[in-house]
Amino acid sequence: LTTGGTGHHDTRIDWWALGVLLFEMLTGRPPFFGETANQVYKQVLFYSGGRSALRRIVPPNVTLDEDVIDLLAGLLQPDPDKRFTYKEICQARAIKRLNIPTVPPFVPVFSTPADTSNFPTGRADTAPFDEWLKGLDDFKDYFIGVLES
């Protein structure tokens, strides 16, 4: 998504990912798809962005509200410098209609980039998941190397 081939992304890639997720939730399919990863990469690479480009990738049996198209076009903007920011997302008509507060209810404070003090300590209760895994014993041969006995 970024130009120059550096392979580095900043937080603006998260807004792109949100656009991909919203697109799939609203249309029932991802905005870019193919039988191979290279086909998907080409679609992303040659996607020009904007409202008209977005309309071309919306399935013909799906009708999206114009406010939603504006939001998706702002999120699925190939140029990170033109992609919607958090503030622009909050100001989008589709979001304003949801009546979501624009200030998050909790803003974590970090002492360092690796600070994990905002997460609970201790081990989570994995009993429900462990019980679910036991039910997969019949399928163990299909998951060789994935499930441990």
| pLDDT tens-place string over residues 4-21 | 445 667 888 999 999 999
Whole-number CA gyration radius for the chain: 20
| Tokens matching residue 123 | 């081990």
Lowest mean pLDDT among 1-5, 43-47, 113-117, 137-141: 1-5
| Residue 3 pLDDT | 46
What pTM value is reported for the model?
A: 0.64
Could you say which DSSP state residue 105 is in?
S
**Residue predicted with more confidence, 130 or 95:** 95
- In the DSSP assignment, the letter for residue 22 is H
Q: What value does the mean pLDDT take over residues 60-79?
A: 94
| Separation of CA 144 from chain center | 30
No. of helices (H) and no. of strands (E), the chain: 7, 0
| Per-residue DSSP letter, 139 | G
